Amino acid sequence: MKHAIITGSSRGIGLALTKVLIRLKDFKIIGSSTSGNHPIQANSFECYPLNLHDANSIKTFVDNVQHLKIDYLFNNAEILLDSSDDPKIDIQKLEHTFSVNLYGTIQLTELLIPHLTENAHIINISSGWGSFSEKNFDAFNPHYKMSKAALNMYTKLLSERLKSTGIRVSAVDPGWVKTDMGGANADRNSEEVANELMDLMDKSETGKFWHQGSSREW
Ligand SMILES: NC(=O)c1ccc[n+]([C@@H]2O[C@H](COP(=O)([O-])OP(=O)(O)OC[C@H]3O[C@@H](n4cnc5c(N)ncnc54)[C@H](OP(=O)(O)O)[C@@H]3O)[C@@H](O)[C@H]2O)c1
């Protein structure tokens, strides 16, 4: 039996990925939502509440799963608080965004590392907006972009740190995806991204930034 954790599995990309993984045999999926409620009910699926803005909620989530050996950790839950027409920094928004997208995600990951299997794979859902090599770079959405850039650096650092253990660490740029976060005009759907994430699970490389099945520049 393999175990996969998907944070933020109640909507969007996380929900699509949950639906894909639930079809696999000998797999148990642990999802999360901020309330603990979830649209999916299945024998091979459990959902626990998780608020990455709250250190106690993160600890309680880890307590709930610590009896398991985890094969895959998808750090998918994140927030986008930016107003798309205002490039100025708002310190409160910056702190809140970093608290969920970076500190909470890192705290959860660090607490789960002792519960990972030898060949586990940590997959951080990042963004092209966290990249330094984006061609269409602009000044908008600064809080979110900085949080994803830092998440990319954490991915690289952790992949080096864990290299000798066999645990792989990857980041993914899913593109612009039709979800509550991406909006209705996005050019990709969450099912396509879910299938790409599933293909990535058993790739042997570590420390790479993936987009549509290929590694891309950071
Ligand atoms: N959509 C895009 O175009 C796009 C582009 C690039 C990267 N991404 C990345 O892809 C990932 C998934 O995005 P999405 O578009 O699927 O997002 P989404 O539809 O907005 O779903 C967000 C998920 O995160 C959970 N969440 C929100 N705040 C949380 C918190 N404080 N603590 C824990 N969980 C929280 C939500 O739970 P509740 O349902 O309980 O609120 C929900 O399950 C994110 O990392 C995002 O940055 C998305």
What does the pLDDT look like over 108-159, one tens digit per residue? 999 999 999 999 999 999 999 999 999 989 999 999 999 999 999 999 999 9
Please compute the mean of the pLDDT values over residues 197-213 and round it to a whole number.
97
Q: What pLDDT is attached to residue 22?
A: 96
Q: What mean pLDDT is predicted for residues 48-77?
A: 98
Per-residue pLDDT tens over the stretch 91-115? 999 999 999 999 999 999 999 999 9
Q: Which of 48, 76, 148 to mutate to test the pocket of ligand 1 (most atoms within 8 A of CB)?
A: 76
**How high is the pLDDT of residue 84?**
87
Instruction: Read off φ and ψ for residue 54, nearest 5 degrees.
Output: -130, 110
**pLDDT per residue as tens digits for the range 77-95:** 999 999 989 999 999 999 9
All residues at 6 or more sequence positions from 153 whose CB lies less than 8 Å from its CB, including other chains: none
Cα(76) to centroid(ligand 1), Å: 6
Q: Which CATH superfamily groups domain 2-216?
A: NAD(P)-binding Rossmann-like Domain (3.40.50.720)
Q: Where are the domains of the chain?
A: 2-216
**pTM given for the model:** 0.98
- Residue 195: phi, psi to the nearest 5? -65, -40
What's the 142 CA to ligand 1 centre distance in angstroms? 17
The CA 52 to ligand 1 mean position distance, Å, reads: 11
